Each structure stands twice: as structure tokens, then as C-alpha cells.
């Protein structure tokens, strides 16, 4: 086999591997989305069984999604994100912007050791503290 033929075969093999890797990632993304939908349905059913109305459950889910978005954005754009005294703290050039977007979710309520933002951050980051 000539060097040119080997190069063409190698490039074709790499192309097949790349395509296969892309397909695997797409399947994983679909599986993650299905798991997210199942979890959301499970949460909804649990809350409805506890006596919450559909409107209450929708409001709770909207708060959960808003908190996740604010925390994920802060995690992506801030130099450092951590929990201190039950409150989510951020540091970096855009910290003020993110503190503002987290403000609603970062209020420590009486009887709770952490804010909603801190709970979401701990879950997303795998922090058990």
C-alpha cells in the first residue's frame, strides 16, 4: 500500500471515528434530556400529590429553572464561585453583574441553612458541604 493510500485510509478512519463520536454524544444528550424530563415529571407528580396546584407547581419550576440559569451563568463567567455562610458568593470581573442576577435566589431565609442559589450550586458542582 502506498503512502498516499495509507493517508487516505487513515483520514477516512478518522472521519468515521469522529462521526461515531458525534453520534454517541447526540445519543447521550437525548438520554440526558429524557432523564431531565422524567425528573421534572416526577417532581410535578410529587408536588401535586402534596396538594400543590398546577399553577403552584409551574411557579416552583420557573423558580428552579431561573436559579439554575443564574447559577450556571455565574459558574461559567466568574473566576470563582463558592458558598460562604450559606450564601453563594462570586468573584471576578463580572461579579457585580452576577451578584445582581443571583440576588433573588441568594436571600437566606429564617430556618434555612442555605439560599436557593447555594443549594443549586452545591447540586450542580457536586459539593456536599
List all residues 6 or more positions away from 85 whose beta carbon is below 8 Å from its beta carbon.
108
DSSP state of 106: -
Location of C-alpha cell 450556571: 72
Q: Nearest Cα to 46, choosing from 35, 57, 59, 62?
A: 57
pLDDT per residue, tens digit, the chain (129 aa), is 666 666 767 878 888 888 888 889 888 888 888 888 888 899 899 999 999 999 999 999 999 999 999 999 999 999 999 999 999 999 999 999 999 999 999 999 999 999 999 999 999 988 755
Specify the pTM. Answer: 0.68
Taking a C-beta distance cutoff of 8 angstroms, is the pair 92, 80 a contact? yes
Amino acid at each position: 500500500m502506498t503512502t498516499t493510500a495509507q493517508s487516505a485510509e487513515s483520514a477516512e478512519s478518522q472521519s468515521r471515528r469522529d462521526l461515531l463520536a458525534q453520534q454517541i454524544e447526540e445519543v447521550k444528550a437525548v438520554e440526558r434530556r429524557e432523564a431531565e424530563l422524567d425528573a421534572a415529571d416526577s417532581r410535578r407528580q410529587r408536588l401535586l400529590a402534596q396538594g400543590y396546584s398546577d399553577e403552584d407547581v409551574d411557579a416552583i419550576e420557573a423558580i428552579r429553572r431561573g436559579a439554575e440559569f443564574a447559577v450556571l451563568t455565574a459558574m461559567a463567567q466568574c473566576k470563582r464561585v463558592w458558598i460562604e455562610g450559606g450564601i453563594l458568593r462570586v468573584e471576578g470581573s463580572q461579579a457585580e453583574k452576577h451578584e445582581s442576577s443571583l440576588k433573588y435566589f441568594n436571600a437566606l431565609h429564617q430556618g434555612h441553612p442555605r439560599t436557593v442559589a447555594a443549594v443549586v450550586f452545591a447540586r450542580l458542582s457536586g459539593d456536599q458541604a
